[in-house]
Structure formats: C-alpha cells, structure tokens
Amino acid sequence: MQKKLMLAVLLICWLVCTPWLGFSQEFCLQPGKKFFPPEILARLTKELPEEKALSVDLEAMITGYPGFILGVELRQKHLYLILKNGERIVYDDGLNKGFEEKLAKPDIKNMLEQVYQPGGSREPSPPDFDPGRFRVRSLFDAVYGGSAANVGARQVLVRFCGACVPFNAQNGAARALESVGRELASLLKRRPQLRRYVFPLGGTLNRRNIAGTTRLSPHSWGIAIDLNPSLGSYWRGYKNRPAKVEELRAKFPQEIVELFEKHGFIWGGRWSHFDLMHFEYRPEMLLKWQILHRDAA
C-alpha cells in the first residue's frame, strides 16, 4: 500500500514538473462580478507575459458580452474564453498571419488588435486598417445564433426613425439600435437635410456572405444596419480613387456617426476598406478604446 502511495506521489510530482503536458486551469467569474479580481489577472499576465494587451482585451470582451463569457481556461500556454454554451475560443492561436489570413481565421487577439477610434477624427485610414472586420465567427454564432433558424428566432422588430426593422435581441443589440433610432429621429427633426443620408435604408438582417468572399456578413446575425446606399459608398467601387474616398468620408454627417458610436456601434467609414453606409453593433471595440483611455488618464 505504501509503495503504491509513493508511486502515486512520484507520478503527480513528475506530471506537475513536466510543462509540455500543459495542465488546464480554469478561472471563472464569481457570481455577481463583472470582471476578475486583481490577483487572477496578475496570475494570467505572469503565465502569459508576451500577451501585452491581455488584461484590456479580456475586460473589453467580458464587459462587451456580459453573461456570455463565463471565465477563461489556461491550457498548454494558450488562453481560452469559456462561453456560456460550453465552447472554448482561443485568445491567441500563436500563428503569424497576414491581413487576409486574419480576415479568414482570426482569433480574439486579432479581432481586437486594431483599435477602433470613435469621435471626430477623419484622418485617412492606413492601408489594411479595418478595426472590427476581423470577426471570430464562433463567438457571434454562440451569442447571436449559429444558423439562419437560430438567428431568426432571436430577431425582434425595432422602431427606427419611423420604420420597423428586424434586429437581434441578444446582448442588448436591438435595445441599442432602438436608442440610436430614438435619438436620430430627434436629430432629423432638427436637421431634416440629414434624412437623405439615412433613407431609404439598405437593410438589417440578411443571411449572406460578404461580397467577393466566403465569410458571413454581420448582417447574417442581424447585428448591422446599412443606411442609404446611394450616399454610403463601398470601397470596391473606388479602389483607384483615394481622393474621392476622402471627399465622401468627409461629407458623411458626423452627428449620425457619433449617435451610433455612443450606443456601441462601429462605422464602416473608419475602415481603409470603407463602407460608409454600414453600422455594426460591436460593443467590445468601443469598450477597448474607453478602457485604454481610462487607464492612460
């Protein structure tokens, strides 16, 4: 009996001292808590010192998707987000990717690495600077629905400046669009000349791929809205006309953009591959900007 106990102790010691076996450690959010306590963050950053943006990214994700991200798992020097449906999504897959590869197969770190800057700046975007276009499909499937039927069951009709449009009710998306619509209606009453930038609407829910790709459009989950397409140009038609792009971007009303950003939407007009009509509910992108500026204050 003593020999067996000794062998068991030796085996455990060997396993613990063998890093390639990669013991799994889970850190779950405590009930009623919105984020990890400092000691857990300190431990994670000590285990993953190369992940400089980890604490900011985790806060943006957990705050941006409350109730959908229940904790993290540390396994073989990789960090995974634990989702409500039990799925694990890797934070950093460790692969060295180019721009197109990040579009095709991003991890959470890729999704957040280009920082979306809200507000009045209309500086030309650097090449391949599209904050928000790296989308982790498994995350959006888990939050908003993984099939057309699941997405459809999560849609509600939202009153938007006198129109009714379908939008996803999960994660506060529909509520956010309703708030935008209410404030935008007031703005259009004061400044009716802006109405032509909004109507006729380009649409919300539409299960389809992004033009020229096999990647799902965010419209497929019902978390994006296109305003008037005739005044919301798309980059594919202006590849060789950079001066015209900046002219169109500068003309788009800042008041409309700021209303959407206030409620967690990003604007496709801030991308180098611009989409001026496009607004997409992405609270984690706005939250990262806010956290970075809070921490810098």
Spatial neighbors of 159 by CB under 8 A, at least 6 apart, are: 178, 181, 182
- Predicted local confidence at residue 239, as pLDDT: 59
- Predicted local confidence at residue 296, as pLDDT: 77
What pTM was estimated for this model as a whole?
A: 0.90
Are 249 and 178 a contacting pair, CB within 8 Å? no
- Predicted local confidence at residue 24, as pLDDT: 86
- Predicted local confidence at residue 248, as pLDDT: 81
Are 288 and 116 a contacting pair, CB within 8 Å? yes
Q: Which DSSP letter does residue 120 get?
A: S
What stretch(es) of the chain map to CATH 3.30.1380?
A: 132-281
Collect the ranges in the chain with pLDDT lower than 50.
Answer: 9, 11-21
**CA-CA distance, 161 to 157, in Å (whole number)?**
13
Residue 92 sits at the vertex; the CA angle it makes with 89 and 96, to the nearest 5 degrees, is 130
132-281 topology per CATH: Muramoyl-pentapeptide Carboxypeptidase; domain 2 (3.30.1380)
- Predicted local confidence at residue 68, as pLDDT: 97
pLDDT, tens digit (0-9, with 9 covering 90-100), for 130-157? 999 999 999 999 999 999 999 999 999 9
SS3 call for 96:
coil
Question: What is the sign, positive or negative, of the torsion defined by CA atoms of 143, 168, 176, 214?
Answer: positive
SS3 call for 72:
strand
pLDDT, tens digit (0-9, with 9 covering 90-100), for 9-20? 454 444 444 443
- Predicted local confidence at residue 247, as pLDDT: 81
